[in-house]
A = this chain, B = another copy of it.
């Protein structure tokens, strides 16, 4: 198709395109726009290599003129202008996330690249934001999805955009290295199961934090285990000694970062007593355990029992911080689980989410579209939903007196900006053309210009800044639009002028 454009001499015609989605994902009233930074960076790299050209030559018809390949060698983004919502912004259906202007062929070539970079990024950032909304601001969220992603790069995308959406950590070490996302490791069941008895612990000694004689940690832990079992009324032969050995070995390697995975054998009869024993032994040497993890069974119930035991140990052995050791959970966690954790008053402090975060099973694609509109003209198809609002628009976000955005407004590019405090007649999309009056207390142009004729005109924010912006943007949203169940749709409107143009075009094409 690119060749046909070039052959007809239309490849350099000025063109414009808009990227948007037609419906908010997951039945919500909002999405979080993401992938825009990477999309803009990819434009800088737009170029056909000699190998690319050679390959294209091999698959295009032999009648393809040489001059076309010469032209492809010159293609880059030097004539491309891009405006976009700032990455991390709350965004709504039908409102463009990105607008691209440039030579027709280049604008068309960018379609799949931009869709690919923005669609999944926005989807998973939105999914992460939903988990964050359900979890509340305090609960820590860790992304664990690499093994379920669409290959290694899919996994990196998932880690990056989950972080933007409000996750705190990732288990993807490469994402930590490349993007500076805080990484958290966990202990695996296979590590626990690789030990069978305390004799296997090697090395065995640990020096107290403040210095002094190294101590034989297996013996110290075993003696603490007796005391813990006595306190809990558990037979002291029940806790699995292989598990205890694994905990002790981990503690010797990571005395300041000791964590326990409690469910390899049995949480209450083995994992928890063993953890308490090792953590108390470490405490005696001046170290603090950093957490426990539950990975199977009834997580809410177990978190409550675990908290009760930790508190009991803390009180009995006079270790005040013991009762508040963070409890982490994993095991195919879904939104529903997180909701239950909160509603049922669980004692869970951190949640690891993998599959249900990165694969977005509730809706695994956002369905973004990219519409190239060289000139204002409506596409009439046999499906009404596929109708497109033509031309490049100016887009404003209107705020009410409480500071909440209450409407996104699309206007013709040359219309004046709506004025604060002045009444405006608008037509809300989806309400059959009916006019509505609004009086915004504040007006913000939704897009910023990031690239003008290939030149970067606004520096891209850091990942941290994007993440903060996403939380701020979500917080501004009124709760009627933000709630995940039965939200009120967020109105998207067009100005009177744009509405009239649409009506004219509709009539002309009938």
Chain A residues with a Cβ under 8 A of chain B: 1, 3-10, 13, 15, 17, 51-52, 55-56, 59, 61, 63, 104, 108, 111-113, 115-117, 119-121, 124, 146-158, 173, 176-177, 183, 185-191, 193-194, 196, 200-203, 249-250, 252-257, 263-267, 296-297, 355, 358-361, 363-365, 367-368, 371-374, 377, 379-383, 386
Known: A7-B249, A382-B297. A185 touches B112 (CB 8 A): no
A390 CB to nearest chain B CB (Å): 10
Would you give 13 A-B contacts (Cβ < 8 Å), ordered by A?
A: A8-B203, A59-B176, A108-B191, A116-B147, A120-B148, A120-B151, A148-B365, A150-B157, A265-B380, A267-B382, A297-B382, A355-B365, A359-B365
A283 CB to nearest chain B CB (Å): 17
**Bound CA span A95–B187, Å:** 26
A313 CB to nearest chain B CB (Å): 22
Contact A190 B116 (CB under 8 A): no
A257 CB to nearest chain B CB (Å): 6
A124 CB to nearest chain B CB (Å): 8
A297 CB to nearest chain B CB (Å): 4
Chain B residues with CB below 8 A from A183, complex form: 59
Contact B374 A253 (CB under 8 A): no
A47 CB to nearest chain B CB (Å): 14
A468 CB to nearest chain B CB (Å): 22
Contact B382 A51 (CB under 8 A): no
A204 CB to nearest chain B CB (Å): 10
Contact B116 A264 (CB under 8 A): no
Contact B158 A150 (CB under 8 A): yes
Copies in the complex: 2
Residue of B nearest to A268 (CB): B382
Known: A3-B254, A256-B63. A189 touches B379 (CB 8 A): yes
Known: A146-B112, A296-B381. A253 touches B190 (CB 8 A): no
**Bound CA span A253–B6, Å:** 9
Contact A360 B364 (CB under 8 A): yes
**Bound CA span A233–B29, Å:** 48
Known: A377-B193, A379-B189, A382-B266. A51 touches B150 (CB 8 A): no
Which residue of the partner chain, among B51, B149, B368, contacts A147 with CB atoms under 8 Å?
B368
Which residue of the partner chain, among B5, B157, B194, B359, contacts A374 with CB atoms under 8 Å?
B194
Chain B residues with CB below 8 A from A173, complex form: 55-56, 59
Of the listed residues A150, A193, A255, the one surrounded by the most CB atoms of chain B closer than 10 A to its CB is A150
Known: A56-B173, A151-B153, A249-B4. A202 touches B364 (CB 8 A): no
Known: A8-B202, A115-B147. 14 other contacts (CB 8 A): A4-B252, A7-B203, A8-B252, A9-B203, A55-B176, A59-B176, A63-B255, A116-B147, A120-B149, A189-B379, A190-B373, A190-B374, A355-B365, A361-B364
Chain B residues with CB below 8 A from A380, complex form: 265-266
Contact B61 A177 (CB under 8 A): no
A90 CB to nearest chain B CB (Å): 22
**Bound CA span A480–B269, Å:** 46
Chain B residues with CB below 8 A from A155, complex form: 116
Residue of B nearest to A160 (CB): B151
**Bound CA span A196–B155, Å:** 44
Contact A4 B254 (CB under 8 A): yes
Contact B190 A381 (CB under 8 A): no
Chain B residues with CB below 8 A from A151, complex form: 116-117, 120-121, 150, 153-154, 156-157
